């Protein structure tokens, strides 16, 4: 419906509450009127679910997006609407750290699109999404392959100067950073930012903020601190402009700043920021804050605050089922840091 499309436009411009309220109105009108073939209802459910994700309301988003899949699979099995609803549910599970649940959904969406049109623009989204999940699971070679397929598909569909091409390069940059290659990460991220800045059409501000944050961290790792702090400043400006103060993502740039400060030897300042970010981002996800816990343990150790580091390690062991979360890419380094700390103490 027109209202559903309007909601998507609001979301892309960062007008998150308007996006939510418009999607809710679209769904209510469809149901009150009792019209449509099911596909319109599926899209409206999906738009409302995505709007709730952007507002950090993950628990409210899940039943809406599950219903979207159910409606689409009944109204038009094997259709683009079916694939889209399945893929977006996978995206929610990615946010929630439920990667093993997300991967088969992404594969289902890829299979549907390959049947519909192997050259469809959405194929690039699907491969990129698969690569992100594989990255989270530590499957780095598979992630590189999927992300490269996503990049090639998006370039084939949109040309080089498109926001989604920049997003693919951003994800490849994050993969390079995670694999311990900050120079390669920095090059990929610089290219992604350049593409996003000259991209045709609307640019998702979140993509650009993420790119600046990753660029900041990778720049710090190669001692390019002026570039790193400049990137943090730009990311902070974007977050401040578009993110509601009570949204869990509001302090992501501060997280990046803390990681830069760790590399710069400003341990006490980094610790203060990481503590604030960790407290702010407790949002009920199954892996909430594991990356932050790992960074904060590292910061305490670097600052010589071993008792605080030990207390945090014990708290993490009590709060999280680390064995069940062994697939998470930060768990291995967190467990290793805590084990080294116990030997030191």
53 close to 32: Cβ distance less than 8 angstroms: no
C-alpha to C-alpha distances, 81 to 36, 70, 77, 87, 306, nearest whole angstrom:
14, 11, 8, 10, 53
* pLDDT digits 0-9 by tens, 220-239: 999 999 999 999 999 999 99
Global pTM reads: 0.78
44 close to 23: Cβ distance less than 8 angstroms: yes
Kindly indicate the confidence band of residue 37, based on its pLDDT and cuts at 50, 70 and 90.
low
CA atoms of 54 and 35, how far apart (whole Å)? 28
Which is more confident, 32 or 170?
170
Q: What is the mean pLDDT of the chain?
A: 88
Question: Average pLDDT in the 191-208 region?
Answer: 80
Question: Average pLDDT in the 258-269 region?
Answer: 97
CA atoms of 90 and 104, how far apart (whole Å)? 8
Kindly indicate the confidence band of residue 77, based on its pLDDT and cuts at 50, 70 and 90.
very high
**What is the percentage of the chain residues whose pLDDT exceeds 70?**
93
Kindly indicate the confidence band of residue 194, based on its pLDDT and cuts at 50, 70 and 90.
very high
* Greatest Cα pair distance in the chain: 68
**What is the percentage of the chain residues whose pLDDT exceeds 90?**
56
Residue 169 scores a pLDDT above 50: yes
* pLDDT digits 0-9 by tens, 81-115: 999 999 999 989 988 878 889 999 999 999 999 99
CA atoms of 150 and 266, how far apart (whole Å)? 38
Residue 155 scores a pLDDT above 90: yes
Residue 208 scores a pLDDT above 60: yes
Number of residues written out for the chain: 345
pLDDT of residue 278: 86
Q: Residue 63 burial by CB count (10 A; 0-12/13-18/19+): exposed, middle or buried?
A: exposed
Which is more confident, 2 or 28?
28
Query: At a CB cut-off of 8 Å and minimum separation 6, what does 232 contact?
Result: 212, 213, 216, 253, 256, 257, 260
* Three-class secondary structure assignment of the chain: CHHHHHHHHHHHCCCHHHHHHHHHHHHHHHHHHCCCCCHHHHHHHHHHHHHHHHCCCHHHHHHHHHHHHHHHHHHCCCCHHHHHHHHHHHHHHHHCCCHHHHHHHHHHHHHHHHHHCCCCCHHHHHHHHHHHHHHHCCCHHHHHHHHHHHHHHHHHHHCCCEHHHHHHHHHHHHHHHHCCCHHHHHHHHHHHHHHHHCCECCCCHHHHHHHHHHHHHHHHHCCCHHHHHHHHHHHHHHHHHHCCCCCHHHHHHHHHHHHHHHHCCCHHHHHHHHHHHHHHCCCCCCCCCHHHHHHHHHHHHHCCCHHHHHHHHHHHHHHCCCCCCCCCCCHHHHHHHHHHHHHHC
Token pair belonging to 293: 């816990």
């Amino acid at each position: 419906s027109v209202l559903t499309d309007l909601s998507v436009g609001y979301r892309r411009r960062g007008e998150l509450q308007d996006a939510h309220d418009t999607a809710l109105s679209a769904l209510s009108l469809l149901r009150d009127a009792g019209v449509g073939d099911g596909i319109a209802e599926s899209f409206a459910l999906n738009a409302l679910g995505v709007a709730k994700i952007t507002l950090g309301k993950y628990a409210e988003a899940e039943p809406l997006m599950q219903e979207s899949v159910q409606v689409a699979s009944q109204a038009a099995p094997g259709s683009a609407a079916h694939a889209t609803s399945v893929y977006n549910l996978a995206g929610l599970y990615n946010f929630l750290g439920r990667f093993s649940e997300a991967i088969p959904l992404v594969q289902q969406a890829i299979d549907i699109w390959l049947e519909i049109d192997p050259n469809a623009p959405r194929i690039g989204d699907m491969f990129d999404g698969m690569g992100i999940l594989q990255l989270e699971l530590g499957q780095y070679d598979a992630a590189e392959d999927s992300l490269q397929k996503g990049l090639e598909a998006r370039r084939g569909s949109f040309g080089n100067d498109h926001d989604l091409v920049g997003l693919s390069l951003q994800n490849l940059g994050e993969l390079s950073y995670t694999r311990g290659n900050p120079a390669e990460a920095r090059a990929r991220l610089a290219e992604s930012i350049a593409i996003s800045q000259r991209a045709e059409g609307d640019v998702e501000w979140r993509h650009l903020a993420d790119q600046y944050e990753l660029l900041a961290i990778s720049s710090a790792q190669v001692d390019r601190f002026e570039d790193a702090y400049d990137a943090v400043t730009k990311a902070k400006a974007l977050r401040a402009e578009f993110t509601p103060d009570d949204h869990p993502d509001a302090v992501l740039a501060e997280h990046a700043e803390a990681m830069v400060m760790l590399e710069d030897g400003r341990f006490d300042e980094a610790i203060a920021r990481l503590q604030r970010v960790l407290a702010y981002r407790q949002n009920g996800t199954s892996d909430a804050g594991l990356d932050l816990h790992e960074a904060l343990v590292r910061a305490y150790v670097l600052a010589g605050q071993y008792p605080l580091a030990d207390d945090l390690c014990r708290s993490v062991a009590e709060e999280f089922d680390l064995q069940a979360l062994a697939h998470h890419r930060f768990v291995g380094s967190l467990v290793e840091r805590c084990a080294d700390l116990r030997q030191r103490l």
